[in-house]
Each structure stands twice: as C-alpha cells, then as structure tokens.
Amino acid sequence: MHELPVTERILDIVLKHAEKNHVSKIVSITLKVGELSDLESEWIQKYFDYLSKDTVAGGAVLKIEKVPIVLKCSQCSESIQIRKEQLGDTTCPECSATGNFSIESGREYYIKEMEAE
C-alpha cells in the first residue's frame, strides 16, 4: 500500500511541471525504480490512473525502468551487481570479502522524464 503516497507525489510533481510549462496533455512518464524499493509497477499504474483522472495526466502511461542492485565492496571498492535473493550471501569476486558491502543503487525511485504535448 506504500505505492499510494509515492504515486500521489509523482502526480503532484508532473502536474506542477505541466502547469509551469503550459502542457495540455501528459502522454507518458518514465520512472526509474530500484529493485530494493518494493514498489509494484502494476499498483503504481493503477493508483496513477485513478488519481490522474480528470487532469492533464489522465490516461498517461507509466514506463517503469528497473534499476539493478549494485553493491560496493568495503575492502577493495569493487562494484558488483546482484539479485535480491543474493543479499546477505554475497562474496566479492575481486577480493573474496563477504558481508561488508554498501549499496550503490537499487533503493531509488525518481521521475526520469515526461512526454507531453
């Protein structure tokens, strides 16, 4: 259910940009969503469709690009891409360190671009 406030914020941002730039119709919005964010694409679109009805964003398609999980080894600074299932069970391929990583990407979500008329 945390998709609702996120979607409200997305809509608020695009409507402000649309008004500022005299946009008559928002066609699509591209979002970058990290694999660790736990945001469900299907629910974001459903909430967006409901919330944007009767606005210039009504009917806009959300294009969601997933951002992979990238960890950085604290020992050697090697960056490695992993799957969600590998969290907590990762070994650095460069120096063989285990469990001492920082997250470089995978938690973020932001608006990448908006297509409008």
Q: Which two tokens stand for residue 21?
A: 């730039």
Residue 2: CB partners within 8 Å, gap ≥ 6? 38, 39
Backbone angles phi, psi at 13, to 5 degrees: -65, -50
CATH number of 3-116: 3.30.2320.80
pLDDT tens for each residue of 89-116? 899 999 999 988 999 999 999 999 999 9
Write out pLDDT tens, residues 20-54.
Answer: 999 999 999 999 999 999 899 999 999 999 999 99
Q: Sketch the domain layout of the chain as residue ranges.
A: 3-116
Distance CA 45, CA 71 (A): 29
Q: Residues near 83 by Cβ (< 8 Å), separated by ≥ 6?
A: 35, 69
